[in-house]
């Protein structure tokens, strides 16, 4: 069988099935050992076999080991035929430092699915737009899987990693900021990380007609507006058919005088497509809803707002 691709041309990753092996990596910051153990237990409860080596516990100021150590862990996982998914332990900072040490040649035709969010946005951009493979904006080991049902939505996590489309996602609290409906490939991540990629060899330049997912955390409204304006001026939004915004946790001024939601309304006032706000993926206070990147989706901002995932990211 030849290489299987999504409608947008990205290679599909391996599906994670019951009993599958999951490599745990730390491309960004170090983590709490207790969270790590609880996350391991949750993966085992789900029916998977987590695996890791001692380099995951490497420590340097700010980051989890040198860039070489962190990149080598990713390369080993991609090269292992018996690994079905790669899940980051936590975010923080550091993923971007691994990019110059990675090569598209490190990836097999159908690599293990990479899962993470926040700082791991750097790796999503590289995988989706530079290496041309799918990934999952999904729950990580520390802080999400380690908290069980309180930290993440089990159904969307498992379905995002499977070989069937996730289907309709209409989470509570999702709002319509601009009405309409549009289809395209789902890409995105944390807005500050996307903006930071601009001007580098790993820049976020979405495919034409992208449904763009954006989220962030603890950015005061003026900083959030600056980041979104940078993306707009760089021409990112000109290639976008619809925008889906996360809850923007901690992005309001004290007292709510200026809110992250208001910033989004202002920045996207002239945007011609639909805009949804409050999708609980990323830095949420509610269970994290996982999203496959690189697949065809439909953003519906009429009636009951929803995001419909129309194809699978894995095979």
- 146 and 196 part of one domain: no
- 103 and 70 part of one domain: yes
Flag whether 11 is in a domain: no
Which two tokens mark 193? 């990380």
* 17-26 pLDDT tens trace: 999 999 999 9
Flag whether 224 is in a domain: yes
- 203 and 139 part of one domain: no
Report which DSSP code applies to 274.
-
Q: Which residues contact 130 (CB under 8 A, 6 or more apart)?
A: 104, 202
From 107, 129, 160, give the residue that closes a domain.
160
Flag whether 87 is in a domain: yes
Q: What confidence score (pLDDT) does residue 1 get?
A: 56
- 180 and 156 part of one domain: no
Strands (E) located in the chain: 21-25, 49-51, 85-88, 113-116, 135-137, 167-169, 175-178, 180-190, 210-215, 240-245, 275-277, 291-293, 296-301, 306-309
**What CA–CA distances, in Å, run from 115 to 82, 87, 142?**
17, 5, 13
Flag whether 33 is in a domain: yes
- 100 and 53 part of one domain: yes
Domain of residue 191, CATH code: 3.50.30.60
Q: What confidence score (pLDDT) does residue 2 get?
A: 83
How many structural domains is the chain composed of? Answer: 2
Strands (E) located in 117-179: 135-137, 167-169, 175-178
Using a pLDDT cut of 70, give the percent of the chain over it. 100
- 34 and 140 part of one domain: yes
Domain of residue 55, CATH code: 3.40.50.10740
Q: Which residues contact 46 (CB under 8 A, 6 or more apart)?
A: 154, 158
- 277 and 194 part of one domain: yes
Residue 282: domain span: 167-309
From 132, 160, 188, give the residue that closes a domain.
160
161 and 15 Cβ atoms separated by less than 8 Å: yes
273: part of which helix (H) or strand (E)?
Answer: none
Flag whether 179 is in a domain: yes
Reported pTM: 0.98
Low-confidence ranges of the chain (pLDDT < 70): 1
136 and 291 Cβ atoms separated by less than 8 Å: yes
Flag whether 13 is in a domain: no
Flag whether 2 is in a domain: no
């Amino acid at each position: 069988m030849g290489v299987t691709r999504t409608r947008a041309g990205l290679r599909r990753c391996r599906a994670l099935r019951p009993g599958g092996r999951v490599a745990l990596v730390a491309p960004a910051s170090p983590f709490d050992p207790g969270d790590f153990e609880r996350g391991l237990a949750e993966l085992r409860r789900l029916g998977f076999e987590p695996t890791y080596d001692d380099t995951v516990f490497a420590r340097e100021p700010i980051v989890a080991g040198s860039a070489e150590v962190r990149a080598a862990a990713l390369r080993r996982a991609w090269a292992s035929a018996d690994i079905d998914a790669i899940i980051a332990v936590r975010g923080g900072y550091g993923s971007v430092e691994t990019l110059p040490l990675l090569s598209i040649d490190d990836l097999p035709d159908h690599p293990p699915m990479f899962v993470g969010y926040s700082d791991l946005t750097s790796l999503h951009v590289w995988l989706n737009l530079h290496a041309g493979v799918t990934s999952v904006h999904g729950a990580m080991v520390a802080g999400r899987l380690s908290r069980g049902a309180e930290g993440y939505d089990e159904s969307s996590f498992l379905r995002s990693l499977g070989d069937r489309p996730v289907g309709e996602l209409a989470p509570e609290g999702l709002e319509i900021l601009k009405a309409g409906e549009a289809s395209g490939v789902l890409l995105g991540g944390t807005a500050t990380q996307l903006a930071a990629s601009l001007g580098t060899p790993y820049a976020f330049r979405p495919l034409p007609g992208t449904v763009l997912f954006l989220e962030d955390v603890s950015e005061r409204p003026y900083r959030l507006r600056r980041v979104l304006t940078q993306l707009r001026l760089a021409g990112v939004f000109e290639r976008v058919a619809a925008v889906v915004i996360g809850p923007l946790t901690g992005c309001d001024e004290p007292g709510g005088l200026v809110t992250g939601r208001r910033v989004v309304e202002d920045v996207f006032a002239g945007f011609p497509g639909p805009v949804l706000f409050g999708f609980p993926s990323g830095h949420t206070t509610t269970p994290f809803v996982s999203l496959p990147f690189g697949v065809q989706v439909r953003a519906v901002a009429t009636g009951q707002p929803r995001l419909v995932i129309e194809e699978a990211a894995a095979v």
